[in-house]
Chains A and B, each alone.
Chain A
């Protein structure tokens, strides 16, 4: 009985406490660097597209709002022919970022994406691709992957031997 009265009194006293609400458009919230906001596609240090179109982000997406088509250019690099995120479905869970093996897809601290027309929430590759390495500067997938591309032959990646001479029987 007393505890009821006491809790009512304590709640009542909250009337005189400081407000925690941030008055958003006038006051801006400070977002941490890992805040999961707008999704972007980043580039590697050579400014090549980091995305190799592996479809893992699409598979990880719990609302299935990512679709893409992988393709390959003349140099042997894979890239997405199209890359579409339907932000009207996106729940900003960040699974795509976790799934991405090349650090291409990243969530950045920007959430101001409101639109009056839902159709405008469908972002294509040109809307997603930024000229930056994002949170992981210096990472270049093709420098570690054992696939040859133009300018990086077999055996030229990090931790790789020169290609085997298959005509030799020397062990």
Chain B
């Protein structure tokens, strides 16, 4: 701790921070642009000037950039001093000389850091009478709008895009007063985190293009704390609604998960909520019906039927649990392929019974060695990939400390660090976006990845099983990885369901356990395929094939399918046959799919924006998402529909439930793995000084006009029986608990930077701590022993390709793929094969290959990849009709080969 004196008042502050951060923590409004808690300081904008005095007697002082000035003991500072105020005013006037006169048509307006800072510094009159510099804009793809005239040259965009997110295609161009931020030429911004530019840019250079399609100012949005539904990481988001449509997704700070950033899938994948193919009315056999008719029909069906229920990994715990209660534990099945079911169960078992703790993404960011097995993180869990990148960027060599360079001194730290990186080892089926920072990247089939993992585990701890016939070259590599991991203090092992191999996940577990036995604090992360895969597994339920059998054997004739397109989880023929056999198929879903097309009764469920629910992320953290807006009367949460059905059937448990809290309480008492689930957020009757938490900012406009064209008398706003939030602007302005912050705002801070006012210290955790409850903790008294069953090494087969799934951030996830902007980024389906295989079958890029998978013939254009192992092919998950659920699987190549494989291999060897 240090004692510093600001404006003649004494404060106790921690050392190791810069003056700007310290001032902000103390509540001083010091304006700034280029500094960002996630990016550190470079002192580019000159806005955050304060005065430093030599000692108490120094009356003159000197102006310094507070973001570049470390806090030292007994420091005398002046923030509100005439010189500093004047200086800051001049700086902003100078930054504004070229700013265009276009706040009215700027999407940033109202949540603009530049506006806030201009007001804060007191610059209100333009004195500069000369011409303004202008720029041409670029088309940056479907996500971001570019308006360079607004730029104030703070460099935040390139610092984030290049340094933080590892992007390659955004840079600063030209020089001096003409500096330009953009791409070398028009085109899509390639990085998966480009959407963050909209938040990181302090003004309106980069703005959300999807928001522009239905533009609404921040103050007009009805906002709720939400959880991203597009991968298993469970990033915290703010979802905003206006006029009955979801308008935007913003980052909601969660120190342990997503920090300040979201991936583009999470940010732009929301548009499926407003899509044309939403189910808005209940229908029976394709005819839209009234609610009462639906209820009588459901009652009739349910009374005389043997009902089974199929849950969903993309539905909330509440919906799944309500369905499980309705149909009974014995009749509840998981709506995922058996393969996925087993992988998820394995992950839960390892994390729950194993001795190794699963870390949060924040902890991954801090780990000092990382081993990724089989997972293309950028495409399956993008925010984890971002965290891995930050981990690699760390400089733990001790050099900076030696010469007193602190973590926030970004430029100096980077100069000193040069190429020094944290070790990152990866073994994947083909190259990934993280390869540029890998210490060693290995490309192999899932079997060989698993074998490498087992070998590493064996090197770390000889008690763990070693793969047989392991080639020496790979052994050397395994040893070097093992040494790297053993040298670390808190390494992290990352694997997941991505390459659909339990062996890979077991190998990862073995490595982690082995390190743990060496006394190393190791983390083990498994990424899952869907947002609530973990939660569904924790609720328990039978496999999908058992449901098929139950119907085939006549044990059941009616199916309730919860928010699930079964065709994504089973082969077309099998699922089609199953649905046809069911006498009645009742589907609760929010978007049309092949399954809803075959349903006899379709019930309109709410998406995450129209629902309350809890989902469990891959860390085992249960988090609540809140309903953003009340939809039409016929759309409601799946669990509420199920309660309604239960009431008509006079189900003993369901008819006692009224709201969200009742389900959560029942779940907490009945599900052994979800014991604290009702404590994920404060109770429904939680109030702050007797008031609810408003979803709408106090400047919300149009209250008496937005519905006036329908009925000039204002209707009573809906009340929320499921949460302490209100659907209006009335309520407390006191900061709510961190799980329930609907939006960030503080007087004078309208932009996203206002999150600082919600944190203990800028960049640190939220004042109320991290939201969510971790359900999986390491079991110290673990009885989990090393996994055995090491697979045989992969051997290519003549005329065959071993087809494994690969993933795309845009397209592989079901719901985001229905979002209009994401759709523009989805690649066309393809089969990724090695150059060798392409030669064998005499194929060029984009040529069609015919493959038969599970006796069904498919044609794909091929993509040739240098790194993918020979004899293996990768098929993008979710992009095509192929049975992705059955992968990995051997595919019989129907395209005739030019040469036999072994001939080819021999020939190439001779040539070498």
Chain A residues within CB distance 8 Å of chain B: 52-56, 58-59, 61, 63-72, 78, 84-86, 88-89, 101-102, 118-119, 121-122, 124, 141, 144-148, 154-155, 157, 159-171
Contact = CB atoms under 8 A, between A and B. Distances in A.
A102 B104 contact: yes
Contacts of B176: 171
Given A69-B214, A166-B178, A64 B701 contact: yes
Given A69-B243, A122-B708, A162 B701 contact: no
30 contacts: A52-B104, A53-B215, A55-B110, A58-B701, A59-B110, A59-B220, A66-B702, A66-B705, A67-B702, A70-B215, A71-B214, A78-B105, A84-B706, A88-B708, A88-B712, A118-B712, A119-B711, A144-B101, A145-B101, A146-B150, A147-B147, A154-B135, A155-B134, A160-B131, A164-B178, A165-B174, A166-B136, A167-B174, A169-B174, A169-B175
B134 A84 contact: no
Contact of B136 (A67, A144, A154): A154
A59 B133 contact: no
Contact of A72 (B102, B212, B216, B706): B212
Given A55-B217, A124-B709, A145-B100, A168 B174 contact: yes
A167 B173 contact: yes
B180 interface: yes
Contacts of A72: 212
A146 B101 contact: yes
B134 A162 contact: yes
A89 to B, nearest CB: 4
Closest 4 CB pairs of A and B: A146-B100, A67-B702, A58-B701, A54-B104
Contacts of B109: 54
A85 B705 CA distance: 6
Contact of B135 (A67, A68, A118, A166): A166
Given A146-B101, A160-B134, A61 B712 contact: no
A58 to B, nearest CB: 4
B175 A146 contact: no
A164 B101 contact: no
Contacts of A71: 214-215
Contact of A54 (B105, B704, B712): B105
Interface string B195-226: 00000000000000000101111011000000
Contacts of A124: 709
Nearest to B215: A70
Contact of B702 (A64, A118, A122, A159): A64
Contacts, number: 151
B705 A164 contact: no
Interface in B534-588: none
A118 B710 CA distance: 12
Given A71-B214, A160-B134, 15 more contacts: A55-B220, A59-B699, A61-B701, A64-B704, A66-B705, A69-B214, A86-B704, A86-B708, A86-B712, A147-B147, A157-B100, A159-B130, A164-B133, A165-B174, A171-B178
A115 to B, nearest CB: 10
Nearest to B107: A70
B244 to A, nearest CB: 12
B134 A67 contact: no
A69 B132 CA distance: 30
B703 interface: yes
Size range of the interface on B?
A: 35 or more
B784 interface: no
Given A64-B705, A169-B174, A164 B135 contact: yes
B704 A89 contact: yes
B839 interface: no
A146 B134 contact: yes
Contacts of A70: 215-216
B167 interface: no
B182 A159 contact: no
B177 interface: yes
A163 to B, nearest CB: 5
Nearest to A64: B703
Contacts of B705: 58, 64-67, 84-86, 89, 122
Contacts of A165: 174, 178
Contacts of B149: 146-147, 154
Contacts of B177: 171
Nearest to B219: A59
A155 B100 CA distance: 11
Nearest to A120: B712
A72 B182 CA distance: 23
Interface string B101-120: 11111000110000000000
Nearest to A71: B215
Nearest to A76: B105
B394 interface: no
B600 interface: no
A154 B100 CA distance: 11
Contact of B180 (A56, A65, A146, A166): A166
Nearest to A141: B104
Given A54-B109, A67-B705, A84-B705, A161 B215 contact: no
Interface in B328-355: none
A67 B701 contact: yes
Contacts of B691: none
A71 to B, nearest CB: 7
B754 interface: no
Given A145-B105, A147-B102, A167-B173, A161 B706 contact: no
A66 B708 contact: no
A82 B102 CA distance: 21
Contact of B102 (A59, A122, A145, A170): A145
B132 A160 contact: yes
Nearest to A67: B702
Given A55-B220, A146-B100, A166-B180, A161 B704 contact: no
Among A71, A146, A155, A168, chain B packs the most CB atoms within 10 A around the CB of A146
Interface in B687-746: 699-706, 708-709, 711-713
A122 B174 contact: no
B480 interface: no
B274 interface: no
A50 to B, nearest CB: 10
A161 B132 contact: yes
A23 B176 CA distance: 70
Contacts of B105: 52, 54, 78, 145, 147
Nearest to A119: B712
A157 B131 CA distance: 10
Contacts of B212: 72
A101 B104 contact: yes
B659 interface: no
Contacts of A67: 701-702, 705-706, 708
Contacts of B103: 54, 101
Nearest to A118: B712
A48 B135 CA distance: 25
A161 B104 contact: no
Most buried by A among B129, B180, B703, B705: B705
B427 to A, nearest CB: 41
B132 A146 contact: yes
A161 B133 contact: yes
Contacts of A66: 701-702, 705
B137 interface: yes
A37 to B, nearest CB: 19
B130 to A, nearest CB: 8
A52 B703 CA distance: 21
A56 B699 CA distance: 11
B173 A166 contact: yes
B277 to A, nearest CB: 23
Given A169-B174, A171-B176, A58 B137 contact: no
A41 to B, nearest CB: 14
Interface in B659-695: none
Nearest to B130: A159
Nearest to B174: A166
Interface in B446-479: none
